[in-house]
Amino acid sequence: MLKNIKSLFLLTALLIGTPYTWAVTSASSNEIKAFCKDLSKKLRTIKYQGCLDLGLQISTSQSVEGRPLTYREYIPETIESVPKRPKGRILFLSGIHGDEYSSISITYLWMLAMLKHPESTGQHWLFLPLANPDGLLGQKPATRMNARGVDLNRNFPSPDWEQLALPYWERFYRKNKRRYPGPAPASEPETQWLVKTIERFKPDAIISVHAPYGLIDYDGPEHATPDSIGSLKHKELGTYPGSLGRYAGEYLNVPVLTLELHAAGTMPTEKEIYNIWQDIEKWAELKLKRKETDF
């Protein structure tokens, strides 16, 4: 599939030390092998060897059921051994809802393209390709929620969580189990890991992939509001108590770009995959305000 994508999609980067810098042990290597085996069995787009080739790293945090929470970091390639200063730091996360297969698969393809090709991106990327491994791999069928039945995208510790999250769930969602925000803000280990990652990485923007509404949602400072990404048009959906948009976009004032693919179980076309990524790069280049900090 990737062979036919246009040359502008040939993105690469080099693996560097992460904000946390954990050593890779033989035990974690075995965990990655088991993780990639399970992932490739679940999603036909993801190949076992391709997953291994990504060089995924394992965080010190785990999911409720003890599955690894993985990450992969990329920066622009160096020139003549002199590090190139990235234009921005972007946190990219997918699979926060375990039943949104396309969001996980498309992230895998983008990461593989970055790894395999020599042309660098201008951004510093931190990918969290599967934020809810129990929802995808531990349930049959896969579920939106984690292993404790919590919607992780309603579990972020926004300042209004304790006052509004549960009443909102009871009144507007009529206690829909798929949107249960949990017993307390950041009660889940997966949410705690995401919050810690945001605090440590200090992203200039966050991109989150979902499905199946077929649009772009945006939360955060007005200067980074997108027009369109690929065929996805901008439409404000609003935020909810405990959502990533309310926590990071409104409370932390970090641009949060949410890509809602058209279908949860069907991948976009190859052309659309390319167009989406090209437009993400353009958005990051044109819309993000740069911080005068050293990397």
Which structural domains are found in the chain, ordered by start? 7-287 (3.40.630.10)
Task: Render pLDDT for 228-261 as a digit per residue (tens, 0 to 9).
Answer: 999 999 998 889 999 999 999 999 999 999 999 9
pLDDT < 50 positions in the chain: 1-25, 118, 291-295
Task: Render pLDDT for 24-44 as a digit per residue (tens, 0 to 9).
Answer: 445 578 999 999 999 999 999
Residue 116 has what pLDDT? Answer: 74
Counting Cα atoms < 13 Å in the Cβ hemisphere of 233 gives 1
CA-CA distance, 209 to 197, in Å (whole number)? 17
Q: Could you tell me the pTM of the whole model?
A: 0.88
CA-CA distance, 244 to 76, in Å (whole number)? 27
Structure tokens at 107: 């992230």
Using CA atoms, how far residue 89 sits from 110, 174, 202, 291, 295, in Å, is: 17, 39, 7, 10, 10
- Count of positions (residues) in the chain: 295
